[in-house]
Amino acid sequence: MNLSELEPAIMQILSDVEHPKYKQSVTDLGMFQRLEERDAEKVALFLKTPDEDRKSQIELETSIRTKATAANLPVRLVIKFEVDPEMQIEDAGNRIKGVKNILAVGSGKGGVGKSTVAANLAAALSLKGYKVGLIDGDIYGPSIGKLFGVSGRLQLKGDGKNNIDPHEVKGIKIISFSFLLNPDQAVVWRGPMLGKAIEQFLFQVNWGPLDYLILDLPPGTGDVQLSLAQLIDLDGAIIVTTPQNVALQDASRAAHMFFEVKIPVLGVIENMSGFLCPHCGKTSHIFSKNGAQAFAAKFHIPQLGQIPLQESIMESGEIGLPIVLKEKDGPIAETYFAIIEQMNKEIEKFR
Ligand SMILES: Nc1ncnc2c1ncn2[C@@H]1O[C@H](COP(=O)(O)OP(=O)(O)OP(=O)(O)O)[C@@H](O)[C@H]1O
Ligand SMILES: [Mg+2]
């Protein structure tokens, strides 16, 4: 028997077997050691492990055997584990493989423009050449699909094997509850199911390599937001608020929520910060002035930017093309580019 001919087939199988504890493939973990011929139809496969965890070993053996049978391997495998205490396994923690930065966009209050900000932030990052994914975490009012003009249904299989391909608009990968429901179907998801669904959005979508994965949180600071924020090791949260006091009170709650679970708050974006009159070009502060600035000072976080209340922002939401993509050289796009720059500095500070 020619072991060097057998090896690629075995490596293929191992690359498809996930370690139950470390959630990475046997090949990615560097567990493969060598093959040794035992007799005409028996080959010993030596795998390196960092510990004596028998339970994981049994699970690994079972799935390697099953896959070997399915692949019609011409030999029987005898799997041998060799403990190597020096073996370094990088704990992936609650990370998504290949995703560099995972950020949440949240606010205490509904309707302040979180989804619009999340959509435009994703668009601006993409224009800057970053690879971007966007998760609409809002079950009761999913709006990211509408903001990008996509609605096709996707199958959420959730069997752990068949991942979902997200929708892709202008290079931005998008997943939303609205892709899973009929537009007029009543929402039947409940707490635990909701958590499960978001977990699948995070871990069972083919995100591929991403520089940024943005999570648009639903409004509020209840259990739902908290558990969403904790399902994954977030690199940071961005708070969106409007300038008036009522919104700021709710934003404070959001800030406290993130602080409590030790998620770095990267800063606050003031949305609908002043009304830019399309007729006279003047700005009026219908929602009071500089609220977010005071908020930022109080919490010792930066104000990342101010977005005016502008008809064209609302309209671009209606036509399904974020303003940053519609007016790539416009002042709103410029504002978002500046936000990105500052945001990246903040991310680095918390690394
Ligand atoms: N700067 C802006 N200028 C004008 N309209 C805006 C602006 N930001 C958001 N809007 C509009 O306000 C409405 C609410 O925005 P959006 O859905 O983004 O808020 P949200 O905070 O995500 O709401 P929810 O709490 O329901 O998730 C939308 O119609 C949107 O087009
Ligand atoms: Mg929203």
Indicate the domain borders of the chain.
3-83, 99-350
pLDDT for the residue numbered 187: 55
Please report which confidence band the pLDDT of residue 161 belongs to, taking 50, 70 and 90 as the band edges.
Answer: low
The pLDDT tens digits for 24-51 are: 899 989 999 999 999 989 999 999 998 8
pLDDT for the residue numbered 162: 61
When pLDDT is averaged across residues 114-131 and rounded to a whole number, the result is: 98
Inform me whether the pLDDT recorded for 257 exceeds 80.
yes
SS3 284: strand
Contact 154, 195 (CB under 8 A): no
Please report which confidence band the pLDDT of residue 91 belongs to, taking 50, 70 and 90 as the band edges.
Answer: low
Inform me whether the pLDDT recorded for 334 exceeds 90.
yes
Ligand showing the shortest atom-to-Cα distance for residue 117:
1
Inform me whether the pLDDT recorded for 93 exceeds 80.
no
Point out the ligand 1 atom lying closest to the alpha carbon of residue 309.
3
Measured torsion, CA atoms of residues 187, 230, 176, 106, in degrees rounded to the nearest 10: 100
Ligand 1 centre from 112 Cα, in Å?
6
Point out the ligand 1 atom lying closest to the alpha carbon of residue 118.
18
> Which of 109, 115, 139, 332 has most ligand 1 atoms within 8 Å of its beta carbon, as the pocket-test mutant?
115
Point out the ligand 1 atom lying closest to the alpha carbon of residue 110.
25
Point out the ligand 1 atom lying closest to the alpha carbon of residue 116.
18
> Which of 112, 114, 116, 121 has most ligand 1 atoms within 8 Å of its beta carbon, as the pocket-test mutant?
116
Average pLDDT over the chain, rounded to an integer: 90
When pLDDT is averaged across residues 191-216 and rounded to a whole number, the result is: 85
> Which of 314, 326, 332, 335 has most ligand 1 atoms within 8 Å of its beta carbon, as the pocket-test mutant?
314
Point out the ligand 1 atom lying closest to the alpha carbon of residue 307.
1
Distances 101 to 130, 208, 213, 235, 254 between C-alpha atoms, Å: 11, 13, 6, 6, 20
Domain 99-350 grouped into CATH 3.20.20.140: no
The pLDDT tens digits for 62-85 are: 999 999 999 999 999 999 999 998
Ligand 2 centre from 116 Cα, in Å?
7
Contact 302, 267 (CB under 8 A): yes
Ligand 1 centre from 21 Cα, in Å?
41
Ligand 1 centre from 75 Cα, in Å?
61
Ligand 1 centre from 217 Cα, in Å?
13
pLDDT for the residue numbered 343: 98
Alpha carbon nearest to ligand 1 atom 3, residue: 309
When pLDDT is averaged across residues 213-230 and rounded to a whole number, the result is: 84
294-321 per-residue burial string, b: 16 or more CB within 10 A, e: under 16 = ebbeebebbbbbbbbbbeebeebbeeeb
When pLDDT is averaged across residues 219-236 and rounded to a whole number, the result is: 82
Four-residue CA torsion sign, 109, 167, 203, 191: positive
Alpha carbon nearest to ligand 1 atom 15, residue: 113
pLDDT for the residue numbered 150: 95
Domain 3-83 grouped into CATH 1.10.10.10: no
Alpha helices in the chain (DSSP H): 3-14, 54-70, 114-127, 144-147, 191-203, 223-230, 245-260, 291-299, 311-319, 323-326, 331-350
Point out the ligand 1 atom lying closest to the alpha carbon of residue 119.
18
**Ligand 1 pocket, CB under 6 A:** 110-116, 138, 141, 143, 219, 271-272, 307, 309-310, 313-314, 317
Instruction: Report the range of poorest mean pLDDT among 10-24, 86-100, 242-256, 311-325.
Output: 86-100
Ligand 1 centre from 51 Cα, in Å?
51
The pLDDT tens digits for 267-321 are: 999 999 988 888 898 888 888 888 999 999 999 999 999 999 999 999 999 999 9
Inform me whether the pLDDT recorded for 181 exceeds 90.
no
pLDDT for the residue numbered 249: 92
Assessment of whether the complete model's pTM goes beyond 0.95 = no
The pLDDT tens digits for 144-156 are: 999 999 998 887 6
The pLDDT tens digits for 104-117 are: 999 988 999 999 99
pLDDT for the residue numbered 201: 87
